[in-house]
Amino acid sequence: MTEKRKSIHGSWSGRLAFILAATGSAVGLGNIWKFPYIAGENGGGAFVLVYLLCIAVIGIPIMMAEVLLGRRGRQSPINTMRTLAQEAGANPLWRWLGGAGVLAGFLILSYYSVIAGWALAYVYRSAAGTFTGATAEGIASIFRQLTGDPERLLAWHTLFMVMTMIVVARGVRSGIEKAVRFLVPALFVLLIMLDGYALAGGAFDQGLRFLFTPDFSKITANGVLIAMGHAFFTLSLGMGAIMVYGSYLPERTSIAKTSIIISLLDTLVAMLAGMAIFPIVFVNGLEPGAGPGLIFQTLPIAFGHMPGGVLFGTLFFVLLVFAAWTSAISLIEPAVAWLVENRRVSRVYAAVYAGVATWGFGLLTILSFNIWAEFKPLSFISIFKDYTVFDLLDYLTANIMLPLGGLLIAVFSVWIMKRDDSLQELDMGDGPGYRLWYALVRYVTPVAVLIVFLNVTGLLDFVGLFGLAEE
């Protein structure tokens, strides 16, 4: 038996703290902002079904793999992969899997923070009563004013990045642990209230039908890739965030049980958000495929007309900011942990270096919503013809980098690492549970990810790929 390693960054106080921190990482803008709008853009039910399937057969097993690698390596993902590759007698290049994760986290956070900035701006607008009595058109114009103004976006993005750097600089244990204990339950309560509003407001069944009646004629191969990519994104998988959180996990905690709990909570939040948003969309004659502005153009209508809307609206956006915050921290943590380990800088400097670089890169996203709104760099590729720089960044990270990262994590944990090692780390005995996990990660995940990739690229025949897209 190998001697147990210790993390130099400390550890969670226990199982609940890990569940809350990992749930804090998983539950974020992905659930409340992104899931509804991509489900809307990709036709609803069939997309949701593919997404749920991906969570169950790919997401949960990969989450277990990431936690087990993290807990075994007990370092930042780059060094964890290096150590575990050494231990397994594998190629040292595996550490670049950790490196790719750091890059993915950097790219994701650069745009994530801009969207979190919108949520911050909406806290302020709600509290000021801006939405009270406003029409759908009025609210759409408030949204356009915000996103059309790069300076305002920059200010909110800056504030959010500073908030993120502060928590990361102080170390995650006391800050995040305490915050999530209250915030995660509060978010659930508010979402359920919003569902109550949607239920009473009419069109609830139309919303449910849209979300849960699969119509496979509405989904494309690219839609399947987006659903799979989102399963990775929403569970924070494929880039080392859950791996680094796993590296702070106490020895005896069950990895399987905690991974299932985290995934269920995450899925529940997404479903509650979808069920609150689509009825409001339909009652107000809005477009489900409205894109990234969807929740910012729908929920304020509800807040503007419900009793106590100023209070609940403000609370909701505050919670959305918190949900984004606890995810942002996990996006930057792999880079910060690595800087501390390898560059011998303090956490404070590490957080500032990584944070400032991410902040600067965020300008690309800010400009995508205004000055560069018509700039479509890959318009010669048909599926990307309408994609702005922000859309491309999101597509590249969520739909390509995370699934590829997840695929390699899967390959490493069952094809490279010794079976005895994963058996020991998962600590659930060599029974049906372990065997199911092993088979899913060994065959199902890699094959599923590859099939989805090949399907999408197969659809893009040479002419479609490089020919001029139709206007």
Taking the complex as a whole, the smallest distance from the CB of residue 236 to ligand PFF amounts, in Å, to: 4
CB-CB contact of 70 with 325 (8 Å)? no
* Contact string (CB under 6 A) for ligand PFF, positions 324-353, x = contact: ---x--xx----------------------
> Among 293, 295, 289, which Cα is nearest to 317's?
295
| Residue given tokens 């999101």 in the structure block | 394
* Contact string (CB under 6 A) for ligand PFF, positions 59-98, x = contact: ----------------------------------------
Count of residues in contact with ligand PFF, rule CB under 6 A: 16
Taking the complex as a whole, the smallest distance from the CB of residue 32 to ligand PFF amounts, in Å, to: 8
The residue type of 124 is Y
> Among 113, 36, 76, which Cα is nearest to 324's?
113
Q: Cα separation of 83 and 332, whole Å?
A: 21
Q: Cα separation of 95 and 64, whole Å?
A: 19
Signed CA dihedral, 169, 174, 177, 183: sign only = negative
CB-CB contact of 86 with 92 (8 Å)? yes
Taking the complex as a whole, the smallest distance from the CB of residue 349 to ligand PFF amounts, in Å, to: 22
By CB atoms closer than 10 A (0-12, 13-18, 19+), residue 447 is exposed
Taking the complex as a whole, the smallest distance from the CB of residue 425 to ligand PFF amounts, in Å, to: 21
Taking the complex as a whole, the smallest distance from the CB of residue 225 to ligand PFF amounts, in Å, to: 17
Taking the complex as a whole, the smallest distance from the CB of residue 409 to ligand PFF amounts, in Å, to: 12
Cβ atoms within 10 Å of 306's Cβ, excluding its own: 18
Taking the complex as a whole, the smallest distance from the CB of residue 413 to ligand PFF amounts, in Å, to: 17
Q: What is the number of the residue whose Cβ is closest to ligand PFF?
A: 30
Of 100-139, binders to ligand PFF (CB under 6 A) are 105, 108
Of 16-55, binders to ligand PFF (CB under 6 A) are 25-26, 28-31
Question: Using the 8-state DSSP alphabet, how is residue 384 labeled?
Answer: G
Nearer to ligand PFF, 266 or 421 (CB): 266
Of 262-301, binders to ligand PFF (CB under 6 A) are none
Of 219-258, binders to ligand PFF (CB under 6 A) are 233-234, 236, 239, 241
Cα three-residue angle 216-220-263, rounded to 5 degrees: 80
Question: Using the 8-state DSSP alphabet, how is residue 30 labeled?
Answer: I
Q: Cα separation of 146 and 261, whole Å?
A: 37
Nearer to ligand PFF, 9 or 376 (CB): 9
Nearer to ligand PFF, 195 or 394 (CB): 394
Interacting residues toward ligand PFF by CB under 6 A: 25-26, 28-31, 105, 108, 233-234, 236, 239, 241, 327, 330-331
